[in-house]
Amino acid sequence: MSVPLAGVRPLLKVSLHQDVRNVVPWVAIVTVLSATSILAYEWIFDEPEERVALARTLGANPALSLVFGPAKDLSTADGFNGWRAGQLGAFFTGLMAVLTVVRNSRANEDSGQAELIASGVIARTSRLAVAVAIASIASVALGVVCFLVTVLCGGGVASTAVLSASYTAAGLMFVGVATITAQLGADARAASTFGVATLGIAYVLRGYVDISDAPDWATWVTPYGWLEESGPGADNNPWPLLLALGLAIVLVAVGFALQERRDFGQGMVAQRPGPREAGVAGHVWGLALKLNASSLVGWLVAFAALGALFGTVATSVGELVAGNPGMGQVLTSGAEGPSDLTFAFVATILQIIAIIAATMGVQVALRIHAEEVDHRVEPLLAASLRRHTYLASNALVALAGTGAAMLVAGTALGVVAHARDSSTDVGDVVLQATATVPAVWILVSIAFAAVGARPAVRMLGWVGVVATFGLTILGPTFKLPDWALDISPLRHVPQVTATDPDWSALGWLGLVILTFLAIAFAGFRRRDLM
């Protein structure tokens, strides 16, 4: 008689030892995010007047609510930590959970390791059980480490406990999501895409509810809304987190049930057979497009939806902040009327979309390294194909894809916003999106420079995206000096509706792009391939 979880213990021990190095960076990122919020608040906002001004400014900024959630109580360091690190930390924890489950389940089937493991004494459900256990242990460990470090840095025990528990709850929810997507995807890449897409949709849906005029109960419809309702640093109510735990249990149970109906090495969403003829993949330019086509189409659809979604709330910004005490301050800091305020919000939203678009471009750049590690690049270059042609084909896909993403999102945003309020000009919104494209390309070219010249430091691509996000969204709040804020390429994008926009800045951005691409091509031509 077979034992349902036979072989779990030895496999879990080995898998934990192998995967710990992949989990530690996620634990460190979220912990640092929380601990630095406590330290930075006491250091930067040491005067009561500054804390009042902070609450007034952040409360009047719907773009920040979209990313971080509504600011409930910014008069204390714990309230500031709950706002700055709460939703963002939960997002990173969910991402860690998805990647961990897929890496320890479907990825092993793709590489053949699962077949080797299955040759031993192990039950059919044991590999998935180990993947779920590793991701769950990582989520709990993240919560515990974050709690201890944040409290040592001065965080309150109760508020930090609720915040850390919300991270663990987010991780467990997306352990359940990934357990299901690992059964649906035709391979590990598709399973990860399904899981990350679900994570992104849940996060954006929570942000939309927060900045729209949706009723209060709408928050309870979204999983991230449950974490928000726990109110770390303000309400400190842990009971909504039980909903997340219940959802995680249900999703994991569904995932195991689906695994019983899935063939080994196959997904429930079957992969279509390839065409008999090579078609566009018959030459290197078409091959680069073919390899990234499915993800690019998915991204473009997502950007169209994002643009339309944000367009529905862009024209209501004036009404949202009209009753806010910070309204006067916002208006006198640059905007002269409701239409100016709306376009300022549109420009900020386009900056956030630009950072997401850069993520897509960095993925294309990093795929070059993945193809190289899997030894699929060397056979191509063994023939007459030149290295710079291969790299250029991928760079063209990344740059054109991110440019198209900005135009799609900008057009959708402009059309929907104009339909709701004719004072919003579609052409201005599309032109602003176009002007933002060079800033996106700088982030993409950084990733290409790293992958092309020195793949060991390829994480620089993600560092550029994260640093730009921090400098652009939070830099002004933390009163960073101008020279530090100027590091973000998005700071140099002119606002097209300004009286005298500085178009020359785009020329300088272009020179930086060419410099990074030159590093990429020179490095890729000279270095050894793996």
What mean pLDDT comes out for the span 105-129?
Answer: 84
Range 459-466, long-range pairs (CB < 8 A, 24+ positions): 461/362, 461/365, 461/366, 462/362, 464/358, 464/362, 465/355, 465/358, 465/359, 465/362
Indicate the length of the chain as a whole number: 530
Closest to 227 (Cα-Cα) out of 51, 52, 439, 82: 82
Closest to 11 (Cα-Cα) out of 139, 104, 103, 97: 104
Domain ranges of the chain: 7-266, 280-529
**Angle, vertex CA 320, rays to CA 170 and CA 200, nearest 5:** 25
Distances in Å between the Cα of 154 and the Cα atoms of 29, 30, 149, 167, 203 are: 18, 16, 9, 19, 29
What mean pLDDT comes out for the span 111-127?
Answer: 83
What mean pLDDT comes out for the span 375-392?
Answer: 87
What mean pLDDT comes out for the span 438-442?
Answer: 96
**Residue at 332: amino acid letter:** T
Percentage of residues of the chain with pLDDT beyond 90: 45
Q: Identify the DSSP state of 231.
A: -
* Span 24-82, pLDDT tens digits: 989 998 999 899 889 888 787 777 777 777 776 666 666 677 778 888 888 888 998 99
Q: Model pTM?
A: 0.82
What mean pLDDT comes out for the span 3-30?
Answer: 88
Distances in Å between the Cα of 341 and the Cα atoms of 172, 314, 336, 507 are: 40, 9, 7, 27
* Span 122-176, pLDDT tens digits: 888 899 999 999 999 999 999 999 999 999 999 999 999 999 999 999 999 999 9
Closest to 130 (Cα-Cα) out of 113, 147, 143: 113
For residue 421, is pLDDT > 60?
A: yes
